[in-house]
Structure 1
């Protein structure tokens, strides 16, 4: 579930033009992170908000929640 969700999010960000740089699993089970940027000014906030929106929508499709 985790890797499939992360890969779907990554692809959605690329398709939407979000400047996503990478994803990786963390130490705890089911904990992931991703990096957005580099971006400057208001564009950095826009990139982050769009990536979060996409993550929420994709998590919903997978029947899980983002925290």
Structure 2
């Protein structure tokens, strides 16, 4: 049984790897995902963790 709002064509679409890349309708290209610099990512993670733990200390 299809979920509410599911289109009939979506339930019959095969994966492009099985069809040699052929698709039944136009496909939008996925945007490029740019990775964060490791040092900057670490800074952001540490800041987020510090903010979360500071909030916990204030509520307990």
Q: TM-score range by the shorter chain?
A: 0.3 to 0.5
Whose strand fraction is larger, Structure 1's or Structure 2's? 1
Structure number with bigger Rg? 2
Greater relative contact order (CA < 8 Å, ≥ 6 in sequence): 1
Structure 1-normalised TM-score?
Answer: 0.35
Whose helix fraction is larger, Structure 1's or Structure 2's? 1
